[in-house]
């Protein structure tokens, strides 16, 4: 049978890993796909930097637009990253009748709706397993393995940089800024780490997971996003004392009122498996109504772990090349005509438990004032941690864990508490999820 010819856009970390995996495991991949999958053409922004790779038999093309329209190419693999020119190249490839595989989470989260519509119109496939959680096959699990379930919620550690930083802060008592510098030296964080530590990268991935889990359009603009830059070592320590660990979670939950889409630092009970995912590793818990909770764990980035997902997509596309387009697995798990317009809840309408840290005057009646304000908003307290004041200290921290409450009510309570003369500075709040 004729080999499947790949046009590869991008020969950086993931592109190089894809070349290595396809060449090293060529025989095994052929056995699985039923035909040889071969890179015929490749393009890179800087062709001089790709020389250490084994590019034997691969024609290098300076112009990526030439690659996506080349008649020899069956599948275009986009590993450039970013929005442009990646978006235009993918659309040109679809117009030219090419199937597409991509690892570009930003592209899918922001422009996936139009890309999938074009692919549907042309009877083509767009595969994107590597766009979320690197080597973990979470897209396939949601789209196919859990197809018999109604997904109730999912929660994931889906940014390795943030998980590395929070792990180091907990295990070694280090400050955020100190660990971030180390993460940059180690290559876990970019020179501008905003996308990672600001929660934006995780929000791109959550957008994709939620769309597949619930059969809704991709809606990145409706994700509530909060990063980890304000997390202090003292909060990590207090969380530990209360039996929790702090993780940056992406959470998508179905409720009667709509869908919750949120990324934020979260206290998780230390006994939960997700709380014990450390370093740069990723993990996603999915709760289905039939199967219950399932956990997917592994490397969320890196050359070959991500290439593993890229090559798995290539095998899927190669198997389906001759299949009737109507009988392929839909891009977002649900048939295109069945994508539902379920509302996404605003941040103020989301319900969550909270960790609150207050700096208060050490005098009688302060805690009573705080609890009264919480009671006025029907907010119940789960636990209180109050340290004894040391000699000469006039202020001390008070740590509160609340029962679940609507965020709008918590906003109101915090506003009133911060207005008390005995409370100094802003209140630190972190959401709490038990993941039951």
pLDDT tens over the chain, length 436 residues: 899 999 999 999 999 999 999 999 999 999 999 999 999 999 998 766 656 788 899 999 999 999 999 999 999 999 999 999 999 999 999 999 999 999 999 999 999 999 999 999 999 999 999 999 999 999 999 999 999 999 999 999 999 999 999 999 999 999 999 999 999 999 999 889 999 999 999 999 999 999 999 999 999 999 999 999 999 999 999 999 999 999 999 999 999 999 999 999 999 999 999 999 999 999 999 999 999 999 999 999 999 999 999 999 999 999 988 667 777 888 887 888 889 989 999 999 999 999 999 999 988 999 999 999 999 999 999 999 987 766 667 899 999 999 999 999 999 999 999 999 999 999 999 999 999 8
Domains and CATH numbers, the chain: 4-135+303-329 (3.40.50.720), 138-299 (3.30.360.10), 348-432 (3.30.70.260)
Active-site residue among 205, 222, 247, 287? Answer: 205
DSSP state of 137: -
Q: How far apart are CA 3 and CA 38, in angstroms?
A: 7
CA distance from start to end of the chain: 50
pLDDT value for 420: 97
Nearest in space to 300 (alpha carbons), one of 132, 106, 103, 104: 132
pLDDT value for 49: 65
Nearest in space to 139 (alpha carbons), one of 276, 293, 306: 306
pLDDT value for 51: 61
Nearest in space to 177 (alpha carbons), one of 103, 132, 231: 231
Q: Is 266 in contact with 166 (CB distance < 8 Å)?
A: no
Mention every residue, 6+ apart, whose C-beta is less than 8 A from residue 295.
273, 274, 283, 284, 285
Is 247 an annotated catalytic residue? no
Q: Is 163 in contact with 331 (CB distance < 8 Å)?
A: no
Nearest in space to 212 (alpha carbons), one of 314, 290, 139: 139
- For residues 369-401, one letter each, b for 16 or more C-beta atoms within 10 angstroms of the residue's C-beta and e for the rest, the string is bbbebbeebebeeeeeeeeeeeeeeeebebbbb
Q: How far apart are CA 151 and CA 408, in angstroms?
A: 26
Q: How far apart are CA 74 and CA 99, in angstroms?
A: 7
Q: Is 40 in contact with 314 (CB distance < 8 Å)?
A: no
């Amino acid at each position: 049978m004729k080999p499947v010819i790949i046009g590869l856009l991008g020969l950086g970390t993931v592109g190089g890993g894809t070349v290595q995996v396809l060449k090293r495991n060529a025989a095994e991949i052929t056995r699985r796909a039923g035909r040889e999958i071969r890179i015929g053409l490749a393009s890179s922004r800087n062709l001089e930097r790709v020389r250490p790779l084994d590019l034997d038999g691969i024609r290098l093309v300076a112009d990526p637009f030439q690659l996506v329209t080349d008649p020899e190419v069956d599948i275009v693999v986009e590993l450039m990253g970013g929005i442009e020119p990646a978006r235009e190249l993918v659309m040109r490839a679809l117009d030219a009748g090419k199937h597409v595989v991509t690892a570009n989470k930003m592209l899918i989260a922001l422009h996936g709706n139009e890309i999938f519509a074009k692919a549907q119109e042309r009877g083509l496939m767009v595969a994107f397993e590597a766009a979320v959680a690197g080597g973990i096959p979470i897209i396939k699990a949601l789209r196919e393995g859990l197809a018999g379930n109604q997904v109730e919620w999912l929660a994931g550690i889906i940014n390795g940089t943030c998980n590395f930083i929070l792990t180091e802060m907990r295990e070694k008592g280090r400050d955020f800024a100190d660990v971030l510098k180390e993460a940059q030296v180690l290559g876990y964080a970019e020179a501008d780490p905003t996308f990672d530590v600001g929660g934006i990268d995780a929000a791109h991935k959550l957008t994709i997971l939620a769309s597949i889990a619930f059969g809704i359009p991709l809606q990145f603009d409706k994700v509530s996003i909060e990063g980890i830059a304000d997390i202090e070592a003292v909060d990590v320590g207090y969380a530990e004392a209360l039996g929790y660990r702090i993780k940056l979670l992406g959470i998508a939950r179905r409720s009667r009122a709509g869908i919750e889409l949120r990324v934020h630092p979260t206290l998780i009970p230390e006994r939960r498996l997700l709380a014990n995912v450390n370093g740069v590793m990723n993990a996603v818990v999915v709760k289905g109504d039939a199967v219950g909770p399932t956990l997917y764990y592994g490397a969320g980035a890196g050359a070959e772990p991500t290439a593993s997902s890229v090559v798995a997509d290539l095998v899927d596309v190669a198997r389906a090349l001759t299949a009737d387009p109507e009988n392929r697995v839909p891009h977002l798990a649900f048939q295109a005509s069945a994508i539902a317009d379920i509302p996404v809840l605003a941040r103020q309408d989301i319900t969550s438990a909270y960790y609150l840290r207050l700096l208060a005057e050490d005098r009688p009646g302060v805690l009573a004032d705080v609890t009264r304000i919480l009671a006025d908003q029907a907010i119940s307290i789960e636990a209180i941690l109050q340290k004894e004041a040391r000699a000469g200290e006039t202020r001390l921290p008070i740590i509160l864990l609340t029962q679940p409450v609507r965020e709008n009510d918590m906003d109101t309570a915090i506003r009133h508490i911060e207005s008390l003369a005995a409370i100094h500075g802003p209140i630190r709040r972190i959401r709490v999820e038990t993941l039951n």
